[in-house]
Amino acid sequence: DTAVSQTPKYLVTQMGNDKSIKCEQNLGHDTMYWYKQDSKKFLKIMFSYNNKELIINETVPNRFSPKSPDKAHLNLHINSLELGDSAVYFCASSQVINEQYFGPGTRLTVT
């Protein structure tokens, strides 16, 4: 059983389009996260959610809108995609302050 799953694994799209990435965890964790890993491999937190509530928003452009329909899901919708959005997006979950389990990542390429 996959603990944290993300779909799609690869996403190639054109500038200006809107796209969504889905994340699901079956670990029963209360906290979920979105991270962006850019071409220099630097992993940066974007959002933290706890029990479906937004806790951390790290000055992410408002083109990025996370949504948590329930504790097990945290989706990321991106409007008006830009070239600079090209990166690997990782979803993760944890019980707060404990080990985070990461999904396999979604490799987004904006052309």
Residues in touch with other proteins (CB under 8 A): 31, 33, 35, 40-45, 48, 50, 55-56, 58, 90, 96-97, 99-100, 102-105
Closest by CA to 46, choosing from 30, 63, 28, 29, is: 63
- For other proteins, the closer of residues 23 and 110 by Cβ is 23
**DSSP letter at 12?**
E
**DSSP labels, 36-67:** EE-TT--EEEEEEEETTEEEEE-S--TTEEEE
Q: What is the C-alpha to C-alpha distance for residues 102 and 91, in angstroms, rounded to an integer?
A: 6
- For other proteins, the closer of residues 8 and 16 by Cβ is 8
- For other proteins, the closer of residues 83 and 97 by Cβ is 97
**Least gap, CB of 56 to other proteins (angstroms):** 5
- For other proteins, the closer of residues 17 and 64 by Cβ is 64
**Least gap, CB of 90 to other proteins (angstroms):** 6
